[in-house]
A and B are shown apart, each in its own frame.
Chain A
Amino acid sequence: MDWLQSLRLVAPELLLSIAGLILLLASAWARCDRDARVITWLSVATLAGCAVLVVPTLWSGAHGPETLAFSGLYSANAFAAFAKLLIYAAAGASLLVAPAFFERLGAYRPEYPVLVLFAVMGMGIMVSATNLLTLYIGLELNSLAAYVLAAFLRSDDRSAEAGLKYFVLGSLASGILLFGISLTYGFTGTIDFAGIATALQGGLSTGATFGLVFVLAGLAFKISAVPFHMWTPDVYEGAPTPVTTFFASAPKVAALGLTMIVSLQAFGTQVSAWQPIVIFAALASIVVGALGAIGQTNLKRLLAYSSINNVGFLLIGLAAATPQGAAGMLVYLTIYVAMTIGGFVAVLMLKDADGNPVEELADIAGLSSHRKVLAACIAMIMFSLAGIPPLFGFWGKFVVFQAAVQAGLIPLAAIGIAASVIGAFYYLKVVKVMYFDEPANKAVGQSDWIHQALLALCALFISPAGYLLTKCLGALAATAAAVLFHA
């Protein structure tokens, strides 16, 4: 494996790091908001360039030895390409919405897009990892950037609190993960995923079981699955809304992709060992996410619980441990990213007459009487999150449950789908507040055109028109998921 070949394979990460470093340098000279805006646009362009670089990989369904770079530490396969496309799209959206939000507070800094670029690079490494150490490096690169982003509004107490909480709990999780990695290494003698799978073929020793449990616990923290979800509502609420948009979308994709790689590749020969853990986490996330959301009055906290709830449904696809399940998860993730970005962009668009952000549920009472289109978009997102057909959110749940049923996990599917009715209650509550209650006339401010365009795009994607994409999306997801099952 010559170096040129390796460098060619890591081209997206290479582009991201070079662009990130140059922009970081440039930001030292940035004086005003306009400069920061230019850097933001350049960052978006970088992400678009990376996306162009990974598309052929996904299209060709690349897998196997020719995708391995640096002596098998990194793999540029179709699965990673699928996840990266989602990550780039989500990160791009979080960049686009940021300037309008921060500039009003006078707090926009060109470091924001640069940090996002570094986080995205970390995520790219995560989903391309073929090795426990590559995994850890990617995860930490992403996390360190994310901690800073959470505390980006330095003068705001809530933002600082969110950053600190995220940092303390995130470090704890990283510690747990590292401990799991060391145990796994100790009992299998390798940190290479394929090697671990081979070593575990014969059976799982007690030590390796502990390693597996700790690795999964560390990853569960990153995807905010129950019982490692406690940080999510606080961080989502405290962090500036564009950052929350980012947290709820891109890192979720990366962490879930990573969880899939670790479970299905590294521990792919010991499915029965981790399946009960995943089933528990799935059902607990669905129920806790749904019950926790009922009492929430803050929209961002509500969406945080909604994301916990959604992770539960995604894990049902993982529990199936089949190519269909993995493909279903990827389809669900795509739709989830669109719904989440739509949801948070809608929250960003809620402003009072002076342009201050409105985040309380009570403040959007009767929204449908003065912001018809915005209310209709939020209602669509809510019904879609609840999984009510004909909105596209239903399709995500459909493919995941289909995979679970095909894998014979019928009780899991039945309990999971019955619990989704609890979730429907609070999604309905948002619709009820907007449509049935007397207008509070609070959220009357005008919104930025970029926000409107993004929301329109997300709404179009989750509208019934999205079903026309099912064939293409399903085929791509199946190509990507197949990579995980090529032993």
Chain B
Amino acid sequence: MADFPILSVMLLVPLVAAVACLLVEAKAARTIALIATLIDFVLGALLWANYDIGGAQWQFVEKVPLFAGFSWALGIDGIALMLIMLSVFLMPICILASHSIDKRVGEYMAAFLLMETLMIGVFAAQDLFLFYIMFEAGLIPMYLIIGIWGGADRIYASYKFFLYTLLGSVLMMIAMLWMVNEAGTTDIPTLMAYDFPVEAQKLLWLAFFASFAVKMPMWPVHTWLPDAHVQAPTAGSVILAGVLLKMGGYGFIRFSLPMFPEASAHFAWLVFWLSMIAVVVTSLIALVQHDMKKLIAYSSVAHMAIVTVGLFAFNVQGLEGTMIVMLSHGLVAGALFLCVGVIYDRLHTREISRYGGLSINMPKYAIFFMLFTMASVGLPGTSGFVGEFLALVGIYQVSSLVALVCGTGIILGAGYMLYLYRRICFGEQKNADAAAMPDLNRREFWMLGVIGAVVLWMGVYPESFLAPMRADIAALDARLARARPAGDAQLIAGQPQAAAQSHEPAAAHAEGAH
């Protein structure tokens, strides 16, 4: 196992399958795509099983100096591992969810498989420029997915997606060139420990911020997201919400925070303000949407704002919470888009008012939709709760105001999600065609079922997911310690009471007795 280049194989399998999909006809392409993504999922599971918790920070490292300016360097830590798991878990589901695609199936599957390669590549890259290439290359398949298989207004959405994200990333390119010139290496782990001059950090931070903020997306550069989501085919939305948005958060946690700690502290308030505005504004916008996908898209922006405040809380709770919110949102938003896709395939509309009373004719669907709605709201027992709670605890240590404002996001979230659920599943069956829709078939049941199981698993026992990341987050926290801003809670140590003293020897005694 030690010498097996598992990460390269994981990159190669979808790539080869993508080429194969281009050469065969529709039915075979579906099969090839499903098999390839399942192989990658199995490899991912092997990766997790062999990941040595508490071992070296970077594992499964591969390094071949293939190119002139950089090298083929791969390797993962716990954070990357979890995000890779998320990608390989969602991909087979996306392929299954693409049942209703009937034009250019081979090319569609090829685009998705290429996307999978690039997503894994982004999370596994240990070379700055390899990361950039993977990060940027993802634009091409996504542009084609939205543009060819998207909805009515797909062309505008595809342009907006491409140009927005490209403009965000090109400045990061210049920043990377400067960093490599300064530090003399393209190796990400080395750069994570390199101390750049504080003044330079600020400019570099802004350049990286431009890229990640667009990808994330943060208010006010989020406007590409609702368009892209609404126009993309169901599986495209799942990948967008499930994995692509996580690249922004991953960027912050891998680059902005460890490489520029001082600048991150300097700009933390910028992030907080943008996030606070995002939580409130996009939640309110979500409340008044008539289009299901748009509503979920705006809710994604609000959830991502919780991610950004958690990241810039500069403490372990905030960082751990952030990671769980990202994983949870990847699953839950993905599942919600699948839920939309299920009824869209039947009625071909995303208008909320065209549905109603679905719990009567689609009870299984209503149960799953309820589960994911609750997870999105953050009900205890679901993954959403764990992440949001931790992130808010983290931020509360820094600023009560930010915690308060972001806390309203949960209330507003409950508002728009439950309102959505009521309009779709409860009430009268006022539309005959909606009332005649059949319940989930077996394929749809399993798609939603597995995601639901993981959402509950993460809600009940988040330790499975936190354990691999714990050491890495602790390392990041230690790196950030020197720049950590003071919290606004003015804690005053109370007078120790007499009784407390008598406890101490007893406690010491108890320790010794063990």
Name A residues whose Cβ lies closer than 8 Å to a Cβ of B.
383, 388-390, 394, 398-399, 401-402, 405-406, 410, 413-414, 417-418, 420-421, 424-425, 428, 431-432, 435-436, 467-468, 470-471, 473-475
Contacts and interface: CB of A to CB of B under 8 A. Distances in A.
A470 B129 CA distance: 14
Given A406-B177, A431-B144, A436-B147, 7 more contacts: A394-B136, A432-B158, A436-B154, A468-B67, A471-B67, A471-B68, A473-B68
A473 B132 CA distance: 21
Given A401-B173, A421-B170, A432-B159, A467 B136 contact: no
B452 to A, nearest CB: 35
A388 B167 contact: no
B144 A435 contact: yes
Given A390-B133, A428-B162, A405 B178 contact: yes
Contact of A435 (B66, B148, B162, B171): B148
B181 to A, nearest CB: 5
B139 interface: yes
Interface string B2-36: 00000000000000000000000000000000000
26 contacts: A383-B140, A388-B139, A388-B166, A389-B132, A390-B134, A390-B137, A401-B177, A405-B177, A406-B181, A410-B178, A413-B174, A413-B177, A414-B174, A417-B171, A418-B170, A421-B166, A421-B167, A424-B163, A425-B163, A428-B143, A428-B159, A431-B144, A432-B158, A436-B154, A436-B155, A471-B67
B197 interface: no
Nearest to A402: B177
Nearest to A406: B181
Given A405-B178, A417-B171, A428-B159, A388 B137 contact: yes
A116 B178 CA distance: 43
B20 to A, nearest CB: 15
A420 B170 contact: yes
Contacts of A399: 69
Contacts of B167: 418, 421
Given A410-B178, A432-B159, A388 B136 contact: yes
A470 B133 contact: no
Given A424-B166, A470-B67, A436 B158 contact: yes
B140 to A, nearest CB: 6
A413 B171 CA distance: 9
Nearest to B159: A428
A432 B67 contact: no
Interface in B135-161: 136-137, 139-140, 143-144, 147-148, 154-155, 158-159
A413 B143 CA distance: 26
Contacts of A471: 66-68
B167 to A, nearest CB: 5
Contacts of A410: 174, 178
Given A389-B136, A421-B167, A425-B163, A474 B144 contact: no
A418 B171 contact: yes
Nearest to B164: A421
Contacts of B178: 405, 410
B69 A389 contact: no
Contacts of B144: 431, 435
Contacts of B162: 424, 428
Contacts of B139: 388
A397 to B, nearest CB: 9
Nearest to A383: B140
Contacts of A388: 136-137, 139-140, 166
A425 B159 contact: yes
A401 B177 CA distance: 8
Interface of B: 66-69, 129, 132-134, 136-137, 139-140, 143-144, 147-148, 154-155, 158-159, 162-163, 166-167, 170-171, 173-174, 177-178, 181
Contacts of A417: 170-171, 173-174
B66 A421 contact: no
A404 to B, nearest CB: 8
Main secondary structure of the interface of A (DSSP, over half): helix
Nearest to A472: B68
Contacts of B68: 470-471, 473-475
B211 to A, nearest CB: 12
A421 B134 CA distance: 18
A436 B66 CA distance: 36
Nearest to B177: A405
A445 to B, nearest CB: 23
Contact of B174 (A383, A405, A428, A432): A405
Contacts of B67: 467-468, 470-471
Contacts of A474: 68-69
Q: Which 8 A-B pairs have the closest CB atoms?
A: A470-B68, A389-B133, A474-B68, A405-B177, A417-B170, A436-B147, A421-B167, A390-B137
Contacts of A420: 170
Given A421-B166, A424-B166, A432-B155, A398 B69 contact: yes
B275 to A, nearest CB: 26
A436 B162 CA distance: 15
A402 B132 CA distance: 14
B71 to A, nearest CB: 11
Contacts of A475: 68
A390 B67 CA distance: 13
Contacts of A421: 163, 166-167, 170
A402 B147 contact: no
A468 B66 contact: yes
A420 B171 CA distance: 11
B122 to A, nearest CB: 12
Contacts of A401: 173-174, 177
A471 B166 CA distance: 27
Contacts of B159: 425, 428, 432
Contact of A432 (B136, B140, B147, B170): B147
A480 to B, nearest CB: 15
A413 to B, nearest CB: 5
Contacts of B166: 388, 421, 424
A279 to B, nearest CB: 16
A381 to B, nearest CB: 13
B349 to A, nearest CB: 22
A475 B67 CA distance: 11
A414 B137 CA distance: 20
Nearest to A421: B167
Contacts of B143: 428, 431
Contact of A470 (B69, B136, B148, B170): B69
A46 to B, nearest CB: 33
B29 to A, nearest CB: 14
A35 B173 CA distance: 53
Contacts of A473: 68
A421 B167 CA distance: 6
Nearest to A403: B177
Contacts of A398: 69, 129, 173
Contact of B181 (A405, A432, A467): A405
A407 to B, nearest CB: 10
Contacts of B171: 414, 417-418
A401 B174 CA distance: 7
B57 to A, nearest CB: 27
A431 B146 CA distance: 13
A142 B7 CA distance: 53
Contacts of B174: 401, 405, 410, 413-414, 417
Contacts of A470: 67-69
A436 B147 CA distance: 6
Contacts of A389: 132-133, 136-137
Nearest to B148: A435
Contacts of B158: 432, 436
A470 B181 CA distance: 19
Task: Output the residue of B67, B69, B170 with the most chain A CB within 10 A.
Answer: B170
